[in-house]
């Protein structure tokens, strides 16, 4: 009898731990499916020309140099419509796809679980309306993989077998895992458009993306290095590991910080503002923090507030073109830069469909402009986007679409 | 207890309960030796160690900031205490916090007039979630960690639906002030964060509540639900109220976190486990019946101090979960034994024999009724 509380406690706690374990292993379910991601090494070596010894999983010197050069490249097309601009390069001939019929577009989306993707998703839907009105697209069927590789593979396979699709659009959840599924979509002979995150194949009709993560890292780390002294401390706040477009941002920035003698420490935050605040306040107790670098602007406000709460000088900081950061930046007057990972690529994707349907050649790798917002330009962007919610992105590029500005102001997720 | 006190020694008129037999010093020592008391020592040791590792942490302002940000966790731990001590679990806390944070962000928005009605609504939602948890656990007899796990998933889904998984804008500053504001120019302490004041008020209220019949009965139910029920306690209503307190505590945490951090669906993630860890670290017996409510709050502070110490010592933050896991296991093991060692005076001879219920059935008394 005396043992019973102990026993009961042990049983209950064992059960609780089972639950704990079940919950905390949730993420490992996201591992690539056996058929998809079994060869991460081969896919990486395919990714990386093995000429430079300094290359690591996420840092490839050649890519760094290429994107560094692209930052000052000339873009074809009208500057007033940056979502249609591209860097001159190989084109895909699409004459064989030319048709008068309204197309059925199948869109395998990685997720809409951050404000950047939500903004893009809204813009894409308004672009869809415009193209439906002009009878280019009949309908778009979308499957949201909710950040899960396995779900997205299933989504793509569903589209291939049951979707009755004329065009595939894929915004991959992760690079290596999604490659075989994208290849299967290519095998159908229908046009395949990949955008945002990349895949390790070039079977696609077009791969649409802004310059890339290295360019982001170069812009931001150069800005911080220019505005800080050697030996100054920078806290780098990163959303999550393992996504190429985020990893390369940090890889490039880390290299530049190292070259300039900036003392940078990085943390993963999951964009959780309470975590960000805690990280910054602990760092502030340990010593002065002169700069804050972010691989995405989500949570920038919390980072600035941590400095305010501690009553210390605000840092030099790079955020993103998210309205919350632009507003806080203006309000506080800190020295900052808003790098941009061009959100308008979401509409470029559908405009590419329009070009394919018309049989116009499109860039095989469609590199969109990616220009940070400086302090001088900030006021203009704040004014243009007046009334937009905090999660909105200043360079969303949808001003000429139906529903502007009301649809973006209401921010109802379609 | 029917035996009259007829001892020859000059005894006090009323025999004190064993825990009160020693002097104040002895009682303090005995308290510290229990897991529920040891956590205060642990917190003090961790504070000293942290300050030693980095003297900046000894600055009153830094300690106040730390206590301010720990308040939501401590409040969640106090709520979780009520459920655990009654022999149940509340895994839905983090999801309740997330729901409240999103509700605040979506419903208050930029309108200061909505602060009061939405706050009232949030507390009602909190109470309703706790009521549902309690009723499902007690009346439908579904184990509480299944009920609250289900609640966690259901609320998590609701939050995803409402937000798509991304941040919405922060509500007006007036509302955020609750979790972010402070009284300035306080002597010695430099300033006093509102969340800390709210924590102190709630801790006092929680202590008083545990001394009321509700608290006593809750302990009794956690210790032995059957005997509590037979002595006339309404077990379902007791436990349901415990669940409601837990969800309300989570709601208050959520309100404070909106102020401290801002609106994001991930706010509150893992709070149920942090709260359970804190309660267990506070020496509260998992399975119910033993433990002090203030120890649960102290457990939260000790846990956060430990994480801060790890940060100061430059230990990778990825170890945090591992540390938390080890703490749960060790604390449960220690608590289960510790309460028996520390609380009761040595030697079973001192135990009043009448507390044992004779287990031998009396034969022949129930024959022939039918």
- Mean pLDDT score, A138-143: 95
Tokens (6 digits) for B75: 């409040």
Instruction: Tell me the chain A residues in contact with residue B69 when contact means C-beta distances shorter than 8 Å.
Output: 274, 277-278, 281
Strand, helix or coil for residue A87: strand
pLDDT confidence bin for B355, thresholds 50/70/90: very low
| pLDDT for A15 beyond 50 | no
pLDDT band at A55 (very low <50, low <70, confident <90, very high): confident
Please determine, for residue A24, whether its predicted confidence score (pLDDT) is greater than 90.
no
Residue A5 has pLDDT above 70, yes or no: no
The residue that leads in pLDDT, B12 or B17, is: B17
Instruction: Give me the pLDDT at residue B21, please.
Output: 64
The pLDDT value given to residue A329: 96
- In this prediction, residue A96 has a pLDDT band, given cuts at 50, 70 and 90, of very high
CA distance, residue A268 to nearest chain B CA (Å): 9
Which of A118, A271, A413 is nearest residue B266 as measured by Cβ atoms? A271
The answer on pLDDT for A44 being more than 70 is no
Contact (CB<8Å) A286/B285:
no
Q: Is A189 helix (H, G, I), strand (E, B) or coil?
A: coil
B259 lies within 8 A of chain A by CB: no
- For the segment A19-28, the average pLDDT, to the nearest whole number, is 41
CA–CA distance, B312 with B49 (Å, rounded to integer) = 10
Q: What is the pLDDT of residue B346?
A: 47
Q: Which residues 158-217 of A have a C-beta within 8 angstroms of B?
A: none
**Closest in B59, B89, B339 to A16, CB measured:** B89
Average pLDDT over residues A386-404: 93
- pLDDT given for residue B287 in this prediction: 84
Chain A contacts in chain B segment 260-289 (CB below 8 A): 260-264, 266-267, 269, 273, 276, 280, 285-289
Tell me the residues of chain B between 171 and 200 that have a Cβ less than 8 Å away from chain A: 180
**A175 or A83, greater pLDDT:** A83
Question: Comparing B60 with B7, which gets the higher pLDDT?
Answer: B60
Average pLDDT for A146-164: 94
Chain B CB within 8 Å of residue A309 CB:
yes
Q: How far is CA A302 from CA A266, A271, A279, B308, in A?
A: 16, 10, 10, 19
Q: Could you say which of B54, B168, B266 has the minimum Cβ distance to residue A285? A: B54
What are the structural domains of chain B? 52-344 (1.10.3470)
Q: Does residue B221 surpass a pLDDT of 60?
A: yes
Q: Is A8 on the interface with B (CB under 8 A)?
A: yes
Domains, in order of start, for chain A: 70-211+342-368 (3.40.50.2300), 213-337 (3.40.50.2300)
Residue B5 has pLDDT above 90, yes or no: no
pLDDT at B167: 67
pLDDT band at A54 (very low <50, low <70, confident <90, very high): low
To the nearest whole number, what is the mean pLDDT of chain A?
Answer: 87
A11 touches chain B (CB under 8 A): yes
Q: Is the pTM of this model over 0.95?
A: no
Choose among A10, A146, A277: nearest Cβ to B261.
Answer: A277
Please state the separation of Cα A155 from the chain's center in Å.
Answer: 20
At residue A234, the 3 state secondary structure works out as strand
In terms of Cβ atoms closer than 10 Å to its own Cβ (0-12, 13-18, 19+), residue A140 is buried
Do the Cβ atoms of A275 and A269 come closer than 8 Å? Answer: yes
* Cα A332 to Cα A328: distance, rounded to the nearest angstrom: 6
Rounded Cα distance between A199 and A111, Å, is 16
Q: What percent of chain A has pLDDT over 90?
A: 74
pLDDT band for position B366 (cuts 50, 70, 90): very low
Under the banding of pLDDT at 50, 70 and 90, the label for residue B16 is: low
Q: Is B33 helix (H, G, I), strand (E, B) or coil?
A: helix
CB contact under 8 A, A13 and B328: yes
Residues 4-63 of B with CB under 8 A from A: 54, 56-57, 59, 61-62
* Binary contact (B262, A311; C-beta < 8 A): no
State the residue for tokens 């406000």: A301
């Amino acid at each position: 009898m005396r043992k019973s509380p102990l026993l009961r406690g042990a049983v209950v706690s064992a059960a609780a731990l089972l639950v704990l374990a079940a919950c905390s292993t949730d993420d490992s379910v996201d591992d690539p499916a056996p058929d998809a991601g079994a060869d991460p090494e081969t896919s990486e070596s395919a990714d990386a020309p093995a000429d430079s010894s300094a290359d690591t999983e996420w840092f490839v010197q050649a890519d760094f140099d290429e994107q560094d050069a692209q930052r000052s490249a000339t873009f074809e097309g009208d500057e007033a419509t940056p979502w249609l601009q591209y860097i001159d390069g190989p084109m895909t001939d699409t004459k064989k796809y030319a048709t008068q019929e309204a197309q059925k577009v199948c869109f395998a989306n990685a997720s809409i679980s951050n404000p950047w993707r939500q903004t893009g998703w809204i813009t894409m839907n308004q672009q869809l309306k415009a193209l439906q009105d002009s009878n280019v697209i009949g309908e778009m069927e979308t499957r949201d993989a909710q950040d899960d590789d396995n779900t997205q593979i299933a989504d793509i396979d569903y589209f291939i077998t049951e979707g009755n699709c004329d065009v595939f659009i894929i915004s991959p959840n992760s690079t290596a895992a999604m490659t075989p599924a994208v290849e299967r979509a290519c095998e159908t002979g229908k046009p395949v458009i990949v955008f945002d995150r990349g895949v390790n194949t070039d079977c696609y009709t077009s791969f649409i993306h802004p310059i890339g993560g290295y360019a982001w890292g170069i812009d931001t780390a150069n800005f911080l290095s220019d505005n800080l002294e050697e030996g100054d401390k920078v806290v780098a706040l990163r959303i999550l590991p393992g996504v190429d477009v985020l990893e390369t941002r940090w890889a490039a920035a880390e290299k530049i910080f190292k070259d300039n003698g900036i003392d940078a420490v990085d943390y993963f935050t999951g964009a959780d503002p309470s975590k960000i605040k805690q990280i910054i306040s602990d760092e502030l107790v340990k010593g002065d923090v002169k700069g804050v670098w972010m691989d995405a602007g989500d949570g920038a406000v919390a980072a600035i507030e941590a400095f305010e709460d501690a009553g210390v000088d605000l840092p030099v900081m790079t955020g993103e073109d998210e309205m919350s950061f632009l507003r806080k930046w203006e309000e506080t007057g800190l020295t900052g830069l808003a790098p941009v990972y061009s959100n308008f690529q979401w509409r470029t994707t559908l405009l590419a469909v329009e070009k394919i349907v018309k049989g116009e050649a499109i860039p095989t790798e469609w590199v969109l402009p990616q220009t940070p917002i400086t302090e001088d330009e900030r006021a203009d962007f704040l004014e243009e986007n007046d009334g937009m919610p905090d999660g909105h992105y200043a360079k969303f590029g949808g001003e000429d679409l139906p529903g502007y500005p009301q649809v973006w102001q209401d921010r109802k997720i379609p | 207890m029917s035996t009259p006190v007829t001892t020859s020694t000059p005894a006090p008129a009323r025999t004190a309960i064993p825990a009160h037999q020693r002097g104040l010093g002895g009682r303090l020592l005995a308290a510290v030796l229990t897991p529920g008391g040891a956590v205060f020592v642990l917190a003090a040791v961790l504070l000293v160690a942290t300050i030693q590792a980095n003297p900046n942490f000894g600055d009153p302002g830094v300690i106040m900031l730390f206590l301010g940000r720990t308040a939501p966790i401590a409040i969640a731990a106090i709520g979780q205490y009520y459920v655990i001590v009654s022999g149940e679990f509340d895994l839905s806390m983090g999801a309740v916090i997330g729901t409240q944070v999103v509700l605040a962000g979506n419903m208050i928005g930029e309108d200061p007039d909505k602060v009061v009605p939405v706050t009232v609504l949030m507390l009602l939602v909190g109470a309703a979630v706790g009521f549902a948890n309690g009723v499902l656990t007690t009346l439908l007899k579904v184990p509480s960690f299944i009920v609250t796990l289900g609640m966690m998933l259901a609320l998590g889904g609701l939050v995803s639906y409402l937000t798509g998984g991304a941040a919405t804008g922060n509500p007006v500053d007036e509302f955020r002030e609750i979790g972010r504001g402070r009284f300035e120019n306080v002597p010695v302490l430099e300033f006093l964060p509102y969340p800390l004041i709210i924590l102190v008020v709630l801790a006092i209220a929680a202590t008083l509540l545990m001394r009321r019949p509700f608290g006593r009965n809750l302990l009794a139910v956690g210790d032995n639900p059957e005997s509590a029920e037979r002595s006339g306690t309404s077990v379902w209503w007791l436990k349901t109220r415990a669940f409601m307190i837990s969800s309300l505590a989570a709601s208050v945490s959520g309100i404070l976190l909106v102020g401290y951090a801002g609106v994001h669906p991930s706010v509150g993630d893992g709070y149920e486990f942090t709260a359970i860890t804190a309660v267990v670290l506070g020496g509260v017996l998992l399975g119910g019946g033993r433990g002090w409510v203030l120890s649960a709050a102290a457990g939260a502070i000790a846990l956060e101090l430990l994480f801060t110490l790890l940060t100061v010592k430059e230990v990778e933050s990825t170890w945090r979960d591992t540390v938390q896991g080890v703490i749960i296991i060790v604390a449960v093991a220690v608590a289960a034994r510790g309460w028996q060692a520390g609380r009761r005076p040595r030697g079973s001879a001192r135990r009043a024999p009448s507390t044992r219920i004779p287990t031998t059935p009396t034969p022949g008394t129930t024959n022939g009724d039918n």
